[in-house]
Amino acid sequence: MTKLLPKFFIFLFIWNCATSPTGRRQFIMIDDSDMNVMGAEAFEDIKKQTPIETNPAINNYVRCITFASLKETEDTTGVTQWEVVVFRDPSVNAFALPGGKIGVYTGLMTIADNQDKLAAVIGHEIAHVTARHGNERVSQSSITQGGLSVLQGMGYETAAGALGAGATYGVILPFSRKHETEADIIGLEIMSKAGFNPQESVSLWQGMKAASGGGKPPEIMSTHPSDDRRIKDLQDKMPQALINFNSARQAGKKPNCRI
């Protein structure tokens, strides 16, 4: 593990040179290639533990939305091929892993009940990957739990195993409110440029709020922004998103993804 020493000090002292797609300064310690391996190994574990939806119509529908969105995505993390898997699970959830791995649960489609709403979620998940949110969380966790000694003690193979140890990546290392908000903004841009109606992103979160029945904790007590906060942030960015959407439609980008 001595090979990690140069990497550690390089990233520790020049971390302020790393920026997210929105221009936010990031703390990044780990090479993208290492994160991509970790994400791929964790994803394989999740696929072994969770039933996979085999209905061709459902899979084609989700992939139609995903690949239309990916055409409008800029990625510099070294992802060579994206993979999206639909899991047969009633949870209203989706997740993303480094390396271009996206998981969508069938339960999500009860609320994200049209292509535009689901595009908002998928764009959001793509954004987590392209903005290196997973790398930030692992880097921050390594520092808070002992810095270099943690990396030396666990190794990348062990870390990869931890990512998929019976739970999704988001459960083990949940994204922060900052990451969630940034993913919403980037995801809104992706979906609108792909020709999906960005206004449906607001409808999505209104539906999420209604489905929660007021049972969520206040935003200050949660790692996620409140539904009201997300809705307001999306509405604030909507004028530019509508410009993107209209330009996309004029350019002939009219996704027609159906089950």
Domain membership of residue 110 (yes or no) is yes
Query: What phi and psi, each to the nearest 5 degrees, are found at residue 109?
Result: -75, -5
Residue 200 in domain: yes
How far is residue 181's CA from residue 99's CA, in Å, rounded to a whole number? 21
Q: What is the DSSP letter of 217?
A: P
Position 171 confidence tier, pLDDT thresholds 50, 70, 90? very low
3-state helix, strand, coil in the chain (%, to 5): 60, 5, 30
Residues 78-114 have pLDDT tens digits of 998 999 999 999 999 898 899 999 999 999 999 999 9
- The pLDDT value recorded for residue 222 is 56
> What is the DSSP track for 16-80?
GG-B-TTS-B----S-HHHHHHHHHHHHHHHHHHSPBP--HHHHHHHHHHHHHHHTT----S---
> With left for phi above 0 and alpha for psi between -120 and 50, is residue 94 left, alpha or beta?
beta
In a domain, 134, yes or no: yes
Number of domains in the chain: 1
Rounded CA Rg of the chain = 18
Q: Tell me the per-residue pLDDT of 180-228, one tens digit each, with 9 for 90 and over.
A: 899 999 999 999 999 999 999 999 999 988 887 756 654 544 556 777 8
Tell me what pLDDT residue 75 has.
92
Q: Is residue 184 part of a domain?
A: yes
Which DSSP letter does residue 223 get?
Answer: S
Q: How far apart are CA 249 and CA 143, in angstroms?
A: 46
Any domain includes 80: yes
Residue 258 lies in a domain: no
- Give the CA distances from residue 162 to residues 39, 42, 51, 140, 168, in Å, rounded to whole numbers and listed in that order: 10, 8, 20, 16, 10
Does residue 257 lie within any of the structural domains?
A: no
Task: Count Cβ atoms below 10 Å from residue 51 Cβ, excluding itself.
Answer: 10
CB 190 within 8 A of CB 198: no
- For 94, counting Cβ atoms within 10 Å of its Cβ (0-12 exposed, 13-18 middle, 19+ buried), the class is buried
Mean pLDDT of 113-120: 98
Top-confidence range, 10-24, 36-50, 148-162, 223-237: 36-50
Quickly count: other Cβ atoms within 10 Å of residue 50's Cβ. 15
Catalytic sites, residue numbers? 125
Residue 36 structural domain:
4-250
